[in-house]
């Protein structure tokens, strides 16, 4: 039972984002889990490693990326639900 998010009639980036972002609950849940897990890993690295400042920039980039994708899904979902 999968989604058809990777199937598109038009392959332009704008169309893909407009047609799919915020519409698939499975993909939104995966984005949420990625965000949650990356934040947990970042906190664990910060608390447990002896010199976390070395790892935080690279881990922070991953956390930021997942967070941006999830927030984009939520914003698109709200936009789609308001416009009908």
pLDDT tens for 48-75 read 888 888 888 888 899 999 999 999 999 9
Cβ burial of 32 (10 Å; 0-12, 13-18, 19+) is middle
* Chain length of the chain: 84
Band of pLDDT at residue 32, cut at 50, 70 and 90: very high
Residue 84 CA: distances (Å) to CA of 16, 23, 79: 18, 12, 9
pTM greater than 0.95 (yes/no): no
């Amino acid at each position: 039972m999968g989604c058809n998010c990777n199937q598109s009639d038009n392959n332009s980036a704008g169309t893909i984002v407009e047609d799919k972002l915020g519409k698939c609950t499975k993909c939104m849940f995966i984005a949420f889990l990625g965000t949650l897990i990356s934040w947990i890993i970042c906190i664990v690295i910060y608390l447990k490693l002896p010199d976390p400042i070395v790892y935080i920039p690279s881990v922070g980039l991953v956390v930021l990326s997942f967070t941006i994708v999830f927030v984009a899904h939520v914003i698109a979902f709200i936009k789609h639900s308001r416009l009908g």
